[in-house]
Structure 1
Amino acid sequence: MGEPFGELKIDRSLRQKLLDLCHGQTILLVGDTGAGKSTLINSFFSMITGKYQQIAEARFGHQTVTKTLGKYVCQRADGVALTFVDTCGFIVSRVPEVVPDGGKVNFGVLLDALLSGTIRPETDLHRIIESLRKQNRAETPEEEERLREEAVRLLEAAKVKNEKRLEPNTVIVVVDAMFLPPKNYLKAVDEAVMKFSKKVCVVATREDLLRRKKDKGEKQKSKLNKVVKNGFSSPLLITKEPLLMSNYVPMADSQSEKDTEIDDQDYPLWKQELLVSTFEKLLQKP
């Protein structure tokens, strides 16, 4: 666990409620770069510990820090744990397909591997995704073939051998509330979760920014609700509308780099209540 940056005033009853929700689940987070996947994890651990934690490396400015498949475990005193699996940002519409031996290796195959738990923790996912993206810029058939073979080799090397699979129970699609996710991206996730019978939910970050924008924020929320509702047909969709989350540290419209100095007001009670409410819906017992 990362070093805490400062103390936070956490409501004890809300903290206990959050701890009580941990009952052995594994959650996979997917989404675009900068959507707030790592921030969601940090928000959870910050509330549990009462200290501002950055255990999952988050984005600063326009630079994503998460590049590997991260595993973060919150274990209660009785041994029951909740595990988060964090991924680097990738969107289906930006990842081309690779076709080795007549079989497609693309976003869908990568997502299948994540849902089945066959990719090892600490795998360099960023390198795999970049090898797929580079095919769009290949100038010759020979270069394209070389990049295709590299992607296949990296995916094969990333598979678990004798280790225990890190198979999730629930998939969280993390989106920035101020942007609408591509429809084909949601469709790909929908198909994958139905294939593997996983619960799924969309969490929209930066709810505090929606509040500040008032009428414009309400219109954006309505658009986002419609996109999510139409994007999934899985019977295991937890809620048809995205769950909202507000960051423990206020974020500017530009998502520019912020100072890491924390004060008690950076995590007011309403943000804590919103976080707990979100996880209450996410971590419903089967």
Structure 2
Amino acid sequence: MDNTEDSTVNRREEDCLTHVDGNNHDLTSDSSLPVQIKEIQMQMSDTVPVESKPRLDGKNLQTENAELLADIVRLCEISDPKNTEVILLLGKTGAGKSAIVNTIYNVLTGNYHKIAKQGAGKAQSVTMEVNRFDNCGISKQTLAAIKDETRRDTISTILPNLPHIIDCAGLGDENSPAIREILELLVGGYIPPDTLIEAMQEKQKELGVGSLKLIFPEASQALKVSKIVFVQSATDSMPKNLLECLTSVLRAMDRAKMKRKYTAEIFLVITKFDLVRDNNLSLKLSGDYEPYDEKDHLMLDIDQFKIFEKDLAYELNMIGALDMDTIRWISFTDRITEDNLCINFNALKFLRRMIEPSPTKNKFESLVLPFSKYIAIYIYMFVKNIRNAIQLALIVAIIVVVIGVLFMLLTARI
């Protein structure tokens, strides 16, 4: 991938997904791919119309998808299932978080099935709780539903190492101590799955902000978030308040250990890219659905979208995000259920990035001071404060003496 700004812009105009992390990921050539993975990708493209097979960097997108899947398999094989990545999908109501979960599941299994509830039309969001999908929502039971034996064997091999996805109920555009507390507990791994966001907010109103930390005092390493994906709809306004609240959480420090409390990476996914007028994108719609008309009020101009995309990335870069990824996303929905190479490409590249080890992880133990060291520090601080108090008392005494002498001299003259 070219890292220059001009080449990045050109690539954004041509691709369905843009990955900006400053890294060059070399993929193996098509000839080195396992035969079974090639067969899977061939089956994934059977129903795709010719016009929806754009070329990417001189390669057919089908080949690119096969390489991505092979890369995912290799990453899973070398990763530790005990340290599986935990992804938190965060965003406003109706941003398309649940549709992302369903799309990843569909791309991996080849079955269009809604494992995460998602709304349509005016009922844009029905997710009310914190939903957790272990291993991308694929279980040993759902493996049996995969019809193709080759695909089933491949997914079965990497299943324990696929990331866990937490789909959080949509939040409002708010930057408040209450939302901050919920975000801290989510990122820190304190809130168990199936907990209702609305119920937590009611507890905050009843008992006050800070009460949730008493209700959920223990963190679980299995729930601790390693990657945060902020999901933003291309048709919605930028939630600056919610972004500011998230960034304040990520800046929080553990003063005792002198480190950041949360080391999760942050990513930006812009959903509903199918509503952007892009001549390089062609989708096969399902059933009686018709393409949006060029004059449709829902459609966005590609140039307007790029400005919006840049503004969002700027907001997140301003918080000092060390690794920034911007992804243009199209989900499989009731409107788009047919297999599509462009959607598969987005999902596979996103999944590969989620599986890659986080650079924030290190082998060094956190600084934990022994009790004796704390005692020594407090004694030092106490002695220092006493010393400062004595110095202050001496200064005050000198001032009082000087004033007294001056007063006596003035009285004697009179």
Correspondence for 1:120 among 192, 197, 202: 192
Letter of the 1:38 partner, please give it: S
Contact 2:232 2:269 in 1 (8 A): yes
- C-alpha displacement of 1:190: 1.7
- Identity within the alignment, %: 20
Letter of the 1:69 partner, please give it: V
Contact 2:162 2:355 in 1 (8 A): no
Correspondence for 2:273 among 189, 201, 207: 207
Q: 1:205 to 1:178 in 2, by over 3 A?
A: same
Query: For structure 1, which segment, 165-174 or 148-157, has the greater mean C-alpha deviation from structure 2 after superposition?
Result: 148-157
- C-alpha displacement of 1:165: 4.8
For 1:246, the equivalent position in structure 2 comes to 330
Runs (5+) with no aligned partner, structure 1: 1-7, 98-104, 133-146, 250-257
For 2:161, the equivalent position in structure 1 comes to 80
| Residue deviations 1:215-255 (CA, integer Å, cap 9, x gap) | 7232123223223313443444432x631111123xxxxxx
Measured in 1, the distance between the counterparts of 2:98 and 2:323 equals 21
1:106 aligned onto 2:187: no
1:30 aligned onto 2:90: yes
Q: How many residues align?
A: 242
Letter of the 2:113 partner, please give it: Q
Contact 2:92 2:173 in 1 (8 A): no
- C-alpha displacement of 1:58: 1.1
1:279 counterpart SS class: helix
Measured in 2, the distance between the counterparts of 1:110 and 1:52 equals 32
| Residue deviations 1:84-134 (CA, integer Å, cap 9, x gap) | 0111000242x7x5xxxxxxx4111110010101011110113334676xx
Measured in 2, the distance between the counterparts of 1:162 and 1:190 equals 21
For 1:9, the equivalent position in structure 2 comes to 44
Correspondence for 1:40 among 100, 117, 123: 100
| Residue deviations 1:25-52 (CA, integer Å, cap 9, x gap) | 0001111111011111111011110101
For 2:225, the equivalent position in structure 1 comes to 168
Correspondence for 2:118 among 31, 50, 58: 58
Measured in 1, the distance between the counterparts of 2:243 and 2:323 equals 14
1:90 aligned onto 2:158: no
TM-score of the two chains, using structure 2 as the length reference: 0.52
Correspondence for 1:49 among 109, 124, 144: 109
1:193 aligned onto 2:243: no
**Structure number with bigger Rg:** 2
1:68 aligned onto 2:126: no
- C-alpha displacement of 1:201: 0.8
By percentage of residues, which structure has more helix? 2
Q: 1:215 to 1:113 in 2, by over 3 A?
A: closer
Measured in 1, the distance between the counterparts of 2:202 and 2:327 equals 30
Letter of the 1:228 partner, please give it: A
Contact 2:133 2:165 in 1 (8 A): yes
Measured in 2, the distance between the counterparts of 1:283 and 1:91 equals 29
Contact 2:270 2:326 in 1 (8 A): yes
Measured in 2, the distance between the counterparts of 1:162 and 1:168 equals 11
Q: 1:27 to 1:215 in 2, by over 3 A?
A: closer
Correspondence for 1:149 among 202, 207, 212: 207
2:105 counterpart SS class: helix
Measured in 2, the distance between the counterparts of 1:47 and 1:40 equals 11
1:284 aligned onto 2:284: no
Contact 1:173 1:202 in 2 (8 A): yes
Contact 1:186 1:232 in 2 (8 A): no
Measured in 2, the distance between the counterparts of 1:31 and 1:131 equals 22
Contact 2:277 2:301 in 1 (8 A): no
Q: 1:174 to 1:237 in 2, by over 3 A?
A: farther
Measured in 1, the distance between the counterparts of 2:266 and 2:319 equals 8
CA RMSD, Structure 1 to Structure 2 (Å): 3.0
Letter of the 2:232 partner, please give it: V
Letter of the 1:89 partner, please give it: G
1:61 counterpart SS class: coil
- C-alpha displacement of 1:156: 4.5
Runs (5+) with no aligned partner, structure 2: 1-42, 46-61, 139-155, 253-261, 279-293, 360-414
Query: For structure 1, which segment, 67-76 or 164-173, has the greater mean C-alpha deviation from structure 2 after superposition?
Result: 67-76
1:179 counterpart SS class: coil
Query: For structure 1, which segment, 147-156 or 42-51, has the greater mean C-alpha deviation from structure 2 after superposition?
Result: 147-156
* Runs of 4+ more than 6 Å apart: none
For 2:341, the equivalent position in structure 1 comes to 269
Measured in 2, the distance between the counterparts of 1:81 and 1:203 equals 19
Contact 1:68 1:124 in 2 (8 A): yes
2:277 counterpart SS class: helix
